[in-house]
Chain A
Amino acid sequence: MAIRSESLPILSSEDVVTVRRRVRAMAIEQGLKLIDQTKIITATSELARNTFVFGGGGTVLLEALESGGRYGVRLTFEDRGPGIADLTLAMKDGYTTGGGLGLGLSGAKRLSNEFEIDSRLGEGTRVTITRWR
């Protein structure tokens, strides 16, 4: 399913910039339209910054997907930070513990075709998003 993959560290705000650029390159390679590129890059920006700010750093796995003639990009953000106590609350528009707009998680979900979040208190958080061509 994944025809190419790469894993990148997210340990600084510079890394967030690098991750966006790598995702842009992969989205272009996979033939995503400009609007879909912009959507997945913006979602990337949100999730990568959450990984860095709240997760205390982590990694992202970029996968170029091909499935029955469909092309896409799947991203898995992973950290071993504090985890999220109440996922339903964290997914609510406007909920923030960091003085943000509280739109990163819910926005990333709206910007993606597929969205999965898994978080365990004291263990970490994993968010997977996919955008298809």
Chain B
Amino acid sequence: MADQERILPELLSKHQTQILESWSAEQLRNRRPGKAGISEEDLRGQCRDFLNALQEASQDDPSDDLQSPIWERARDILTDISREQSKHGASPSDIATFVFSLKQILFQLLQTEIGKRPEVFAREIWTTTLILDRLGLFTTQVALKIREEVIARQQSEMLELSTPVVKLWDGVLALPLIGTLDSERTQVVMESLLEEIVRTGAGIAIIDITGVPTVDTLVAQHLLKTVAAARLMGAECIISGIRPQIAATIVHLGVDLGDVSTKATLADAFAIALRRNNLVVTRTTPAARRQSAE
């Protein structure tokens, strides 16, 4: 292969400006409307850097072994570009398309340059395809890695919803929810409350949502379902920890909590629970304490 003429690197340097122009124009056309994306200037810069690296590497190594050090600069540049683009919301396929869209432009140039020599033309098309396919695949690997990094970070940031059902009094259970209720775990937590109701025969369960940052229709639906299921098991639920801004938002959402009792604080809910159980809390005086001790 070494003594074959190297068409691709020559083509890349000879038509540098033209390739850069049509390729970045293609990128700009492909941009989805209404999407932030990177600026036109940055995009042009990315295209230029990549074309230079591609030119250098294919000059030094007409083979297509992307693992070789000769391709390192091209790989580094593509990694940076993938990171930058995915930061702006580009999907893995968007980023691969970035590389693949170079094909048509290069093929057209090859056609005009060496189209009259079918054997050389076929060989060059093949090498160019191979190189661009591998580079395109490389970007999807990078994109996957970025995605894994994001997920790992999210998992550590996401408040794991872990809430024990606690007994506040005979017949009074409480479930203090802390965290986001988006995950599958919500169902598990709600079911553990129902199990406790059955196990203890409690008549009142307080679900406290002070620690739930956002109450949307999904959270509301979880709550309504749990209240309905508890009722079937003979327990009444009280939802507490509804901050004023949450109360207003629930109303705007149009969620109808129906006849479910709601309270601002867990303490308020507990007071209700005691009253329903015909219990009263009284403040004693030293004199009364002495009397009851006698």
A residues adjacent to B (C-beta < 8 A): 5-9, 12-18, 20-21, 34-35, 37-39, 41-42, 45-46, 49, 59, 61, 63, 76, 78, 93, 100-101, 103-104, 106-107, 110-111, 126
A46 CA to B35 CA in the complex, in Å? 20
Tell me how far the C-beta of B158 lies from the nearest C-beta in chain A, rounded to whole angstroms.
6
**What are 7 pairs between A and B in contact, CB < 8 Å?**
A13-B182, A14-B182, A17-B154, A42-B253, A78-B35, A93-B254, A107-B253
| Count of interface residues, chain B, beta-carbon cutoff 8 Å | 35
Q: Which of B37, B151, B216 counts the most A-chain CB atoms under 10 A from its CB?
A: B216
Task: Tell me whether A7 and B35 are in contact (CB under 8 A).
Answer: yes
Q: Which chain A residues border B34 with CB–CB below 8 Å?
A: 61, 76, 78, 126
**Interface locus among B111-119, B202-210, B242-250:** B242-250
Given A7-B88, A17-B180, A107 contacting B254 (CB threshold 8 A): yes
Task: Tell me whether B182 and A111 are in contact (CB under 8 A).
Answer: no
Task: Tell me whether B36 and A61 are in contact (CB under 8 A).
Answer: yes
Q: Which chain A residues border B158 with CB–CB below 8 Å?
A: 14, 17
The proximity string for B residues 75-111 relative to A, scoring 1 for CB distances below 8 Å and 0 otherwise, is 0000000000010110100000000000000000000
Q: Which chain A residues border B36 with CB–CB below 8 Å?
A: 5-7, 61, 63
Given A20-B214, A49-B218, A42 contacting B249 (CB threshold 8 A): yes
Q: Which of B91, B158, B182, B213 counts the most A-chain CB atoms under 10 A from its CB?
A: B182
Q: Which chain B residues border A61 with CB–CB below 8 Å?
A: 34-36, 89
Q: A13-B182, A107-B252 are in contact. List 15 more A-B contacts (CB 8 A).
A: A7-B35, A9-B91, A14-B151, A14-B154, A35-B244, A37-B245, A39-B248, A39-B249, A42-B216, A45-B216, A63-B36, A101-B217, A103-B254, A104-B216, A126-B34
Task: Tell me whether A101 and B214 are in contact (CB under 8 A).
Answer: no
Task: Tell me whether B252 and A41 are in contact (CB under 8 A).
Answer: no
Q: Which chain B residues border A41 with CB–CB below 8 Å?
A: 213-214
A63 CA to B36 CA in the complex, in Å? 9
Task: Tell me whether B215 and A42 are in contact (CB under 8 A).
Answer: yes
Tell me how far the C-beta of A94 lies from the nearest C-beta in chain B, rounded to whole angstroms.
8
Task: Tell me whether A38 and B89 are in contact (CB under 8 A).
Answer: no
Tell me how far the C-beta of A21 lies from the nearest C-beta in chain B, rounded to whole angstroms.
8
Given A20-B214, A110-B254, A38 contacting B249 (CB threshold 8 A): yes
A32 CA to B213 CA in the complex, in Å? 17
Tell me how far the C-beta of A102 lies from the nearest C-beta in chain B, rounded to whole angstroms.
8
Q: Which chain B residues border A78 with CB–CB below 8 Å?
A: 32, 34-35
Given A7-B37, A18-B154, A13 contacting B32 (CB threshold 8 A): no
Those 3 A-B pairs whose CB atoms lie nearest each other, nearest first:
A7-B89, A107-B253, A45-B216
